[in-house]
Structure 1
Amino acid sequence: MPAPTSDDAILSLQNASLSLNGNTGTVDILRGISLDVPAGQTLGLVGPSGSGKSSLLMVMGGLEQATGGTVTALGHDLTAMSEDQLARFRRDHMGVVFQSFHLIPTMTALENVATPLELAHDPDAFSKAQDALAAVGLSHREGHFPAQLSGGEQQRVALARATAPRPKILLADEPTGNLDGTTGATIMDLLFDLQERHGSTLVIVTHAPELAARCDQVVHLRDGRIDGPETTGLPSDQPSEAAE
């Protein structure tokens, strides 16, 4: 049975944990994370390096399988899915933007954006890809390859690719980390605009306090746990266990 969630939660984690086996033994990355993310809201994940922010985002997207607890998205238990099932679920319901753009170098901007739509057998893949590139101001670059684009343009292509299928959930991991301040601010304006326009739920990992301040809710992580005193608005069933 899926874990119980609040009525409007699109993402719900109940005591979710992530442990990985390394050369020195088991390493606990996430330690009993419990929170609900309401539909249509923006959530910022903040904390020092190594606190588990990116790992939590990966678990939310099924890119890493939680090793304990449950992770529910749109009422589906991601922890019960196979890798193939997770891939199809992300294709149909999620968009992901990474710090590194992850564009296919042998494809044009238009082909990169159209790829997830084609994989979903969308008959209007290229038309929707053109619309998505227009939404990020890159209609004039749709025939260019990634190597012919600036870093900011590549990230705009990545944004168009993530949002073209109109996903209900949009995940962004340090999306401005490889960009200068001015370009990064432009990318973030685009990201929030697209989220609002499409009504997606947006989860962002960031080190930038000014970016986190734009989110509806902020969760601070430390040592793989939610740092209770700095968590606002989202429920957690655990006491503060912040590291000294």
Structure 2
Amino acid sequence: MAETILALDGARLELMGNAGRVEILKGITLDVARGETLGLTGPSGSGKSSLLMLMGGLERATGGRITALGRDLGTMGEDALARFRRDHMGVVFQSFHLIPTMTALQNVATPLELAGAADAFERAAEELAAVGLGGRLDHYPSEMSGGEQQRVALARAAVVRPDILLADEPTGNLDASNGAAIMDLLFGLRDRHGATLVLVTHAPELAERCDRVLHLVDGRLAA
């Protein structure tokens, strides 16, 4: 039986809105196996991105329990969570979240530098070459297309060799051609590094490539 790398048991999320507390996620229970590719789909506002944020410890559950690699995320302080993400997770957002004053090479090397890796820039250069940007190391985000910026973001997420790779609408801001290329790169990173991939998507062609697809409606997993 496959090892469980991510487990949610009755995970809930409530946030304070203008009209009071809003229940975003209403008791999510699921297991994700090591090496699995899981797609999360559902209408806008159904809680997909919030669920991904809970998995990555970027948002704290207000109920239930979330474990990653056997660690209970709810019992970890902010510094411990940040170190855990740095060492074990890669996150790719729809908005690329690159540092505008840093080159592609510097952006990708940043998580390795924070981890104290002596070969941060060598590894960053290798990862950029792997996503087809070996000739763009010294370019700044403003000098790159959207597709190129997303490639940099993918390289930054993958350079730490994460056990878990989380992607939130990774093709949402791209045209069809760039979106297809990013899909191929995502699955290539999974295959190359053996990462477990969890992705939120509205794109049917991306969902079809996943091992399993779960559909969220109004904060709950649809039957």
Relative to the length of structure 1, the TM-score reads 0.90
Q: Does 1:156 align with 2:151?
A: yes
C-alpha displacement at 1:21, in angstroms?
Answer: 1.4
Q: How does 1:169-180 map to 2 (within 5 A)?
A: 169-180=164-175
1:101-134: per-residue Cα shift (whole Å, max 9, x none)? 0000000000000000000001110010011001
Give the 5 Å matches for 1:121-160. 121-160=116-155
Contact 2:91 2:165 in 1 (8 A): yes
1:46-104 deviation per Cα after TM superposition (whole angstroms, max 9, x unaligned): 00000000000000000000000000000000011111111111000000000000000
Q: Please give the alpha-carbon distance, in whole angstroms, between the structure 2 residues aligned to 1:207 and 1:219.
A: 12
Letter in 2 for 1:136: V
Count the aligned residue pairs: 223
- For 2:17, the aligned partner's letter is G
Pairwise CA RMSD of aligned residues?
0.8
**Residue aligning to 2:34:** 39
| Large movers: runs of 4+ above 3 Å | none
Aligned to 2:77: 82
Shift of 1:28: 0.3
Distance (whole Å) between structure 2 residues aligned to residue 152 and residue 21 of structure 1: 35
1:205 to 200, 203, 215: 200
Alignment match, 1:186:
181
For residue 60 of structure 2, give the secondary structure of its aligned residue in structure 1.
coil
TM-score normalized by the length of structure 2: 0.99
Unaligned stretches of 5+ in structure 1?
A: 1-5, 229-244
2: CA distance between counterparts of 1:155 and 1:25?
36
Partner residue in 2 for 1:24? 19
User: Is 1:215–2:210 an aligned residue pair?
Assistant: yes
User: What are the within-5 Å matches in structure 2 for residues 47-62 of structure 1?
Assistant: 47-62=42-57
Partner secondary structure for residue 110 of structure 2? helix
Q: Which residue of 2 aligns with 1:232?
A: none
Deviation, 1:137, is: 0.7
- Give the partner amino acid of 2:128: L
Distance apart, 1:179 and its partner CA? 0.5
**Displacement of 1:163:** 0.1
What do the CA deviations read for 1:10-43 (whole angstroms, capped 9, x no partner)? 0000000000112211100000000000000100
Partner of 1:241: none
Q: Distance in 2 between matches of 1:57 and 1:184?
A: 20
SS in 2 for 1:141: coil
* Inter-partner Cα distance in structure 1 for 2:138 and 2:152: 12
Post-superposition offset of 1:7? 6.0
The residue identity in structure 1 corresponding to 2:167 is: A
